[in-house]
Amino acid sequence: MTDSFDPAAREQELREQAESWDTSTPVPAEPGDIPVIDLEDEPAGVAAEVRTACETVGFFQLVGHGVDESSVERTFAAARAFHGLADETKESIAMDRPDWPVGGVGYLRVGERLLPRRAVGNVNEAFLVKRDDGIGFDDNQWPAEADLPDFRGTVETYALAVEQLALRLVPVYAAALDLDPTYFDSAFADPFWRLRLSHYPGVETARPTGAYGIAPHVDTTFLTLLRQDGPGLAIYSTPRDAWITVPVVEGAFVVNTGELLRQWSNDRFLSVRHFADNETSTSRYSIPFFFNANADHVMHPLPTCVTPDAPARYAPVSYRQSQAAVQGE
């Protein structure tokens, strides 16, 4: 068992791992590579499908989720409108500016080396909103209503809808891990999450050497819920021993496990390496929702994931002490 978590060492380890991955030849996904799970199916069957997906692939496509598609469409429209603003307007709410008390929210410009932290800047810009203990919508940075009427209301409505979806999935994950469906209730009474409205500019010229839309990484989350308006996401498939491109399934969320759940499950559930790019001349947009337990909830290795053959690999630790520290929170 690891006695303590060193976020600086873990970040360095993740960067070194990512830089060693050969992502040069992704191939199209084949039927069955990324399971499609219908949340409206019988609960025990859904939990079994989630268990299989998280133990073997780490990604799945979720349908039957109940999130209003018109809200999704309005949020994509809001993302396009925001990223169409003048640079000086976006820069006025830049992330981590000295005169804003909350870090990790607002505008992240193209070429930044954060989220994930890398040596080469990401060919991507984003608007980020987060919720944490004591941090609500009013504590985030927003463009002026005069610049983008209804933007904040649209984003808040979508964020709350996806938060509810994530909370619906929590008991499913508990059942998938052979736990009582209420096992995680206290951990998610006040969840930490981040919503990112991402823009991948069209490719007009060659990118800098080593640059990606979003560099190869693993998420630091319990789970991530992603909507994308076009292809560009690639994941590493352990069963195929290959990088595969993720198809866009109409109306589906792409769902993946992150480092928090991998660690909490004692490595039973995968945390899968992935990256995003845009190989076209047309802008691409995606809206990932990064969902976690309360950032200060101490995670003890799950009892169903620790056995004599699989002893606990991690000491009890909270998200804020571990993955949030890696993210620079």
User: What's the confidence (pLDDT) of residue 117?
Assistant: 62
Averaged pLDDT for residues 33-60: 98
Residues 207-214 have a mean pLDDT of 76
d(CA 74, CA 97): 28
Containing 147, the helix (H) or strand (E) segment is: none
State the pLDDT confidence band at 192, using cuts at 50, 70 and 90: very high
How much is the pLDDT for 16?
Answer: 76
Residue 59 to residue 73: CA distance in whole angstroms: 23
Inform me whether the pLDDT recorded for 9 exceeds 90.
no
Q: How far apart are CA 249 and CA 70, in angstroms?
A: 16
What is the rounded average pLDDT for all residues in the chain?
A: 92
For residue 31, pLDDT over 70 is answered with: yes
Measured CA to CA, the distance from residue 225 to residue 253 in angstroms comes to 6
Q: Which pairing describes strands 36-38 and 59-63: parallel, antiparallel, or unpaired?
A: parallel
What string of H, E and C letters represents the secondary structure of 239-285? Answer: CCCEEEECCCCCCCEEEEECHHHHHHCCCCCCCCCEEECCCCCCCEE
Q: What is the mean pLDDT of residues 255-274?
A: 95
Give the predicted TM-score (pTM) of the model: 0.94
Kindly state the average pLDDT of the residues 203-214.
73
pLDDT of residue 12: 74
Retrieve residue 323's tokens. 């993955």
Question: What b/e readout covers 229-266, taking b as 16+ CB neighbours within 10 angstroms?
Answer: bebbbbbbbeeeeebbbbbeeeebbbbbbbbbbbbbbb
- Nearest to 109, CA basis, from 194, 192, 201, 18: 201
The full set of domains in the chain, from first to last, is 7-327 (2.60.120.330)
CA distances from 152 to 78, 108, 110, 245 (A): 9, 17, 22, 32
Residue 15 has pLDDT above 80, yes or no: no
C-beta neighbour count of 107 within 10 angstroms: 24
Q: What sign for the dihedral angle of Cα 138, 144, 149, 154? A: negative
Is residue 206 very low, low, confident or very high in pLDDT (cuts 50, 70, 90)? low
Average of pLDDT values for 37-50? 98
pLDDT of residue 18: 73
Instruction: Report the length, in residues, of the chain.
Output: 329
Per the CB < 8 A criterion, the answer to whether 283 and 200 are in contact is yes
Give CA–CA dist 211/224, Å, rounded: 23
Average pLDDT over residues 127-138: 97
Q: In angstroms, rounded to a whole number, what is the distance separating the alpha carbons of residues 227 and 254?
A: 7
CA distance 25 to 2: 35
**Predicted pLDDT at 4:** 67
At residue 207, does pLDDT exceed 70? no
Residue 323: per-residue pLDDT: 75
For the stretch 69-86, pLDDT in tens is 999 999 999 999 999 999
For the cut 80, the answer to whether the pLDDT of residue 265 exceeds it is yes
- pLDDT at position 36: 98
Confidence (pLDDT) at 245:
96
pLDDT in tens, 142-162: 999 999 999 999 999 999 999
CA 101 to chain centre: 24
